[in-house]
Structure 1
């Protein structure tokens, strides 16, 4: 007969297998075909070069700090193709596995429901379709943060622990106890948005008199990699307030934006929304979430604890308010004023992303509601329990049957033309700046996905790259945030054609013209800067060099700021590794101790006694 712990281990493994299967299905083209994903905001290159701009020390706001730096480091170890598959699939698997483990006391089928819904829900699908895998890392980390913060808050407070520990031990959890929480917060903090959400979630859920100071310190620590360069670096912090309306949540179907948001949808980009969300399936999805929140609430308070459930619900409510605000007349005006008046408040423009805490709550609530329903079926109609379990597990997929129609085109890998390698051989390591044309941030390549993609040049070439940072959302063209890009853009678009000397005075040495057109369509015409010399001509890329002296502008943050930012980043990384490693060591020792006691308990009494005598 299996020991109870072995049975639990096997159940957990089976649930992990279900999560892995759904995650693989959601990103199947990425696993099936070679190449690198290149669509929408999902941009991977064979080996992204490292530069100080990835630490927020460039002339653009720290929107992807420290994400780009971490990608560059990981690319140097495993390469972009491997990293893309590990990161995207791993994030989805982590979300599902962490979600079902939060509901350990639930029926296995109910845990399966939570794991499935954590992977297969509108928030995940729409963000993945947009290519924003880093935000999904914060989402997956959210489950880890909730579990770790709850455990930390309650550590040493059970009657048995209080009776067997000294007062000081109860009052102050050891540093290793914070390890899992800090690792979750660090994963969430690979972007500024994730850093804010993860830290706030950790502080609210884990708050107690014993943990308050440490939680606040850790919450501030994970903000430093993006906050310091934002405050001290050369980049501006102003954002176009027109983005508030452009990135506001939208109604996917009749009922308004709020109704769509309550169903975990409502993303601003219509191209990321599965067609089923516009009709009956979309309405059913919202009803499913609302029913789960109501029917599963009492059971959820028992599974994760009433304090954790209430605090998570409070954070989810605040997130919903932030997501809804931009879609309401008065709220949109308020958010616009904040974006205009507070430097760095451009983070608020994309309102749908603030649904992240509600998505966490909805996943756990659906699992709790399923547990309540399955226990009722088991009591009153046990013959139908298996059927009910199968139906419950299939609910997330049935509610969003066409999820892969929007995720597959985004994650489908492509092969870069050899032109990129040949241009890199010329420009890598050179001084001066490379400008990419046509002057726009997103491109449609005839050799790649039919979806527009963020220009990969800055992640391909080991040289300073300047490109347009203006964003077109529908018919709205949003002003960029880089002063340098605006200066170069004025020269590129101001003349017919631009003069090489004018570009040279701005530090431009290279001009890269890309064949930018959907398959079968003519490329966007680009006039070569007057006086530029062609250095490479391929089927997809043409490289020109600006002759004569190039004035390289000093756009750096300065040695003192650079040293401070790099030092702080290293210290934060070391803190995460030290506390994370310490927590693993402590957990391993505890597990070994439990296994030893269990093995001793299975021995005959005479052998257990002789063992004790021999040690004397």
Structure 2
């Protein structure tokens, strides 16, 4: 119910197009989708997975379904985790855990920022925690001597399969995988009589490594990308932000504080943010003493504290300097500069502590009453998360000109240069928020993009050096031969201000397509990167199969045990 309350507008027809979220009717396995261009491979294997899925299902449906699934999994996973670690909290405690996992500023802000695939990884975090903690706990063995050892091996295989599956699902993006791997390694050190800490840590690292192969391989074989210009503006622009009445640390503790002030729900833009943060932290604090006594949950509490304090430190002067130095040394680690997104690591611990609040207050307050008050308080202090964050997260329809222009270019795929030069666009038919240009994810051809972003009047440079050179040529009035020599096959001008001295192939008030005729070869490493994606997909499928097999065998064994324990005729 909570997941649907948040995502209900997405059940309608249309495409998610909001800031970083771009869905199109169809995506293709271009070099950019495979991470084989100058840009860092930050959207792998997400782009490849959507390209595969959109071959059989409309891409807009695929993206919306994955987003809804991610939020639903967050709540369900938090409830399952609470049931495993806090069985005495019962259904009331599970409801509190699910509410905290779904109904919080982090979900709202990442929805408004368009980070749909990150929310899939977010939804996998409690499942990763539960899977690793299950390995650390004692497996359930059946008492029959002849099959006891087989049951132990089968349980371990199914448990490892769960770790494989959830890490692969979280690995839809590099950030999601890094979050999930961190949770897995933290849970590997939890106390328990089951598999050893070393075994759980090795399994987690191995699963994370194979799930990361798509972007690791792409990073190793791509044409080459660099940090570009000075990273100082980028690091400071993406640092966590203090909300009204709160410090940066307080905002992060309330699971808010995203860098983009425009991607914040209205209730967090006033002093009401203080009330919301106090309510959430009060619910969590009430359950902390109980959770500390359940030693298996302590690592997740420690992780929650670190997930709040470390991003806060990253937003200080020394922290910004340290992050900048790291990114300058290793450009591929630019993924760490958005400090607030690491607050997702606090969610499993917060959800468990919320469930434990029911246990803490049970001697004085009925569990149902405690759960009802806690859930209502959490929801009431973030009322605008409902209905797509107040209707801002909703599907839109592309004008027909976009489909017609895409069909023209797809009939003869060749590299595409796009004007205007900004990576972000504003379309009257897509709402008031800026959006990433949809063409790179729609066309069968490569679209030359710089990756430059304008934030607060500052330009954060991207890695698209060649695209920047081509755009400079276009703005300088380069002729057709010059553009063709630079490998440009098409030029698309988005909007009605199109007046280039090039042959027009398609013209509309929305788009104008010019034919240039140039081309450039595809990357020779496509097969290698596709093979890495095959490993990721195999891990997803094998992990799911192992979990399913274990569940079926476990249910069958439980049924046999129940039958064996029933009194037979003559026993009465």
TM-score, scaled to structure 1 = 0.85
SS at match of 1:511: strand
Q: Is the 8 A contact 2:185 2:201 kept in 1?
A: yes
Provide the C-alpha distance between the structure 2 equivalents of 1:147 and 1:41, rounded to a whole number of angstroms. Answer: 30
Q: Give structure 1 stretches of 5+ with no counterpart.
A: 1-20, 379-384, 516-522, 610-616
CA shift, 1:364, in A, is 2.1
Choose 364-373 or 91-100, whichever is displaced more: 364-373
1:102-501 aligned at under 5 Å gives the runs: 102-104=81-83, 105=87, 106-156=89-139, 174-207=156-189, 208-238=197-227, 240-241=230-231, 242-301=233-292, 305-307=294-296, 309-378=297-366, 387-404=369-386, 407-493=389-475, 495=476, 497-501=477-481
Q: What's the counterpart of residue 381 of structure 1?
A: none
Check if 1:590 corresponds to 2:554: yes
Q: Is the 8 A contact 1:27 1:408 kept in 2?
A: no
Q: CA 1:503 to 1:322, structure 2 compared with 1: closer, same or farther past 3 Å?
A: farther
SS at match of 1:472: strand
Q: CA 1:583 to 1:155, structure 2 compared with 1: closer, same or farther past 3 Å?
A: farther
Q: Give structure 2 stretches of 5+ with no counterpart.
A: 190-196
Check if 1:67 corresponds to 2:46: yes
Q: CA 1:166 to 1:594, structure 2 compared with 1: closer, same or farther past 3 Å?
A: closer
Of residues 23, 29, 43 in structure 2, which corresponds to 1:44? 23
Higher relative contact order (CA 8 A, sep 6+): 2
Provide the C-alpha distance between the structure 2 equivalents of 1:213 and 1:273, rounded to a whole number of angstroms. Answer: 39
CA shift, 1:600, in A, is 5.4
TM-score, scaled to structure 2 = 0.91
Higher Rg = 1
Q: CA 1:289 to 1:235, structure 2 compared with 1: closer, same or farther past 3 Å?
A: farther
1:437-586 aligned at under 5 Å gives the runs: 437-493=419-475, 495=476, 497-515=477-495, 525-528=497-500, 530=501, 532-546=502-516, 550=518, 552-554=519-521, 556=523, 558=524, 561-586=525-550
Q: Is the 8 A contact 1:26 1:408 kept in 2?
A: no
Q: Is the 8 A contact 2:36 2:218 kept in 1?
A: yes
SS at match of 1:82: helix
CA shift, 1:147, in A, is 0.3
Provide the C-alpha distance between the structure 2 equivalents of 1:279 and 1:440, rounded to a whole number of angstroms. Answer: 31
Provide the C-alpha distance between the structure 2 equivalents of 1:74 and 1:183, rounded to a whole number of angstroms. Answer: 18
Choose 62-71 or 443-452, whichever is displaced more: 443-452
Choose 476-485 or 51-60, whichever is displaced more: 51-60
CA shift, 1:371, in A, is 3.6
Cα deviations by residue, 1:400-436 (Å, 9 ceiling, x for unpaired): 1222487344421111111112112211042421112
Q: Is the 8 A contact 2:32 2:446 kept in 1?
A: no
Q: Is the 8 A contact 1:126 1:272 kept in 2?
A: yes
Choose 593-602 or 214-223, whichever is displaced more: 593-602
Q: Is the 8 A contact 1:436 1:512 kept in 2?
A: yes
Q: CA 1:362 to 1:501, structure 2 compared with 1: closer, same or farther past 3 Å?
A: same
Choose 105-114 or 62-71, whichever is displaced more: 105-114
Aligned length, in residue pairs: 559
Q: What's the counterpart of residue 606 of structure 1?
A: 569
Q: CA 1:579 to 1:26, structure 2 compared with 1: closer, same or farther past 3 Å?
A: closer
Q: Is the 8 A contact 2:39 2:451 kept in 1?
A: no
Provide the C-alpha distance between the structure 1 equivalents of 2:559 and 2:478, rounded to a whole number of angstroms. Answer: 74
Q: CA 1:211 to 1:363, structure 2 compared with 1: closer, same or farther past 3 Å?
A: closer
CA shift, 1:331, in A, is 0.9
CA shift, 1:387, in A, is 4.5
